[in-house]
A and B are shown apart, each in its own frame.
Chain A
């Protein structure tokens, strides 16, 4: 026994980096919606990037610690509190037995991540601890966390070396309701008229309440097809923007089906997956086209950022190495100003 759920919140699930290698068998990838936030949380508490974390959605859970450990909360600001007092985000925090982690009200973003040093004792299903609700696999019995559920720490630590340095000062925030998502066009951009592409890249789309871990439905001007929105089914990647015949885009995310029969006009680039994961009903979305080279440069920047963060923290272990340096955040990593 390590943590006891006093209240599950709206939707709290165990997630890691997802089921890799099983899409060919029709198994969705799942995993944390905001992979970057989950990885940062893990790195802050000394875990591997892909260790299982709790993904908290909008209204967070109340969690009682039955054992001391170090934790980090990242991602959207859902107002985390420890014993009723504000808990700093994006920083490793030592928690004591008996303390209660709770969340007040969502302030920005949609999803927060809680990492526990040493990880959680959760069996792997098809190589992953991620919960996939629809097939009831992974996580805790394939479902969201509920009152009286108990999860066990795998290798808790009461203290980590250099606790005060285990923080990210410039973590991405999700405070703006106007979000620009960068995309590369394709795979079926040729199924749309020139006017359709212009609409897609020029207009603003509103996030609807019909948005979940599978897809994020947007509302706005109709995107015109050459013929219609149907294709012979093919694969779907994270961030693929599906446009069925009705002409309204859907951003496909973590629990998306592996294959689908609707035209996909473009794909949100990896560097903006966090932003896509953190949008919520009412937010306004604009799409901006970039090329594949730029998209991959940005992908590498984010990988380098995580690597540098880990490096900086591992140096922190060695007192002779001097004070740990924060990795400079790549400029391109910053949210695009509107």
Chain B
């Protein structure tokens, strides 16, 4: 853990940086450290914000000063490998692929010399790591998409993309949480609201978890949509299988 850096981000937060690349190993360390920190009983921590390579720790200097906090966090680093980290959850997101809901599916297929069915199969067979959330409330930065379905962004962005749209941009994939403009290739739509400010849990995905897309047909889409509207739908969650260290 010699490579960990404590970077000043003002006088009420510090960025704990675990490396300088996008990697699952670094992200796993961030998750482990976040869990260790929450369980550490260190007082004065206000909130933590994971990103690709760092955990930003907001704190109240009236409770704990910078030097003391860094010293205590350094103390946690040695034990990171020892503490029990529960496996990450996989969040299953049902998606209606193609058609009106995924107007660019055909293009993505053609661009990669595949059939639309092959694209769906590839896209829905991966458990994507949520590196972080940002850009807009509930937007996930996912890692792990197959290069076989990578497709450049649209030449000209759409003015309005409906919330719930599932898209591809280069080697990235993700879900638009709210209606917004954007240039991603849209391959499907989920009836699930990734973000609903007035729900008890406003945002479903969490950094460090995984997302898996499950293809559904129109009938199931409509059924889930009704349940979502009634506040009665819950996404399936299951623990990620392989040990990720």
User: Taking beta carbons and an 8 Å cutoff, which residues of A are in contact with B?
Assistant: 20-28, 125-126, 134-135, 137, 184-188, 232-240, 257-260, 264, 267-270, 292-293, 295-296, 298-300, 303
| Max chain A Cβ within 10 angstroms of own Cβ: one of B12, B141, B178 | B12
Q: Closest residue to B8 on the A side, CB-wise?
A: A186
Number of interface residues of B (CB under 8 A): 44
B137 in contact with A238 (CB, 8 Å): no
The reply to whether B134 and A299 form a contact with Cβ atoms under 8 Å apart is: no
Instruction: Tell me, rounded to whole Å, the shortest Cβ–Cβ distance linking A233 to chain B.
Output: 6
- Describe A's contact surface by its main secondary structure: mixed
Are B66 and A292 in touch, CB under 8 angstroms?
yes
Q: Which residues of A contact B15 (CB under 8 A)?
A: 187, 234-235
- Determine if A235 and B49 form an interchain contact, defined as CB atoms under 8 angstroms apart: yes
Task: Check B10 against A25 for contact (C-beta < 8 Å).
Answer: no
B197 touching A259 by the CB < 8 A rule? no
CB of B77 closer than 8 Å to a CB of A:
no
Q: Tell me, yes or no, whether B51 is within 8 Å of chain A by CB.
A: yes
B10 touches A26 (CB 8 A): no
Kindly state the separation between the CA atoms of A186 and B6 in the bound complex, as whole angstroms. Answer: 10
A292 in contact with B8 given A26-B139, A125-B198, A126-B197 (CB within 8 Å): yes
Query: B179: shortest Cβ distance to chain A, in Å?
Result: 10
Give 9 nearest A-B pairs by CB, closest first. Answer: A235-B56, A267-B10, A187-B7, A186-B8, A26-B133, A259-B134, A295-B11, A25-B203, A27-B137
- Given A27-B203, A235-B51, also A296-B134 (CB < 8 A): no
The residue that A270 contacts in the complex, of B12, B20, B132, with Cβ under 8 A, is: B12
A233–B51 CB distance below 8 A: yes
The answer to whether A240 touches B47, judged by C-beta atoms less than 8 angstroms apart, is: no
* In contact, B136 and A135 (Cβ under 8 angstroms): yes
Name the interface residues of B80-95: CB closer than 8 Å to any CB of A.
none
CA distance A71 to B45 in the complex (A): 33
- Decide: A135 and B47 in contact? CB cutoff 8 A: no
Q: In chain A, what residue has the closest Cβ to B22? A: A232
Say if the beta carbon of B214 comes within 8 Å of chain A: no
| Nearest-CB residue, chain A, relative to B48 | A24
- Residues in B neighbouring A295, C-beta threshold 8 A: 10-11
* Residue contact A239 to B56, C-beta cutoff 8 Å: no
Partner-contacting stretch, out of B57-65, B98-106, B114-122, B217-225: B57-65
> A334 CB to closest chain B CB, in angstroms?
18
Given known pairs A135-B136, A233-B51, the reply for A239 and B10 (CB within 8 Å) is yes
For the complex, what is the distance from the CA of A209 to the CA of B72, rounded to whole Å? 43
Mask of B134-164 contacts with A, CB within 8 angstroms, 1/0: 1111110100000000000000000000000
B9 contacts A240, CB within 8 Å? yes
Q: Given A20-B46, A292-B66, A299-B61, do A237 and B13 touch, yes or no (CB 8 Å)? A: yes
B15-28 to A contact mask, C-beta < 8 Å, 1/0: 10100111000000
A175 to chain B, nearest CB (A): 26
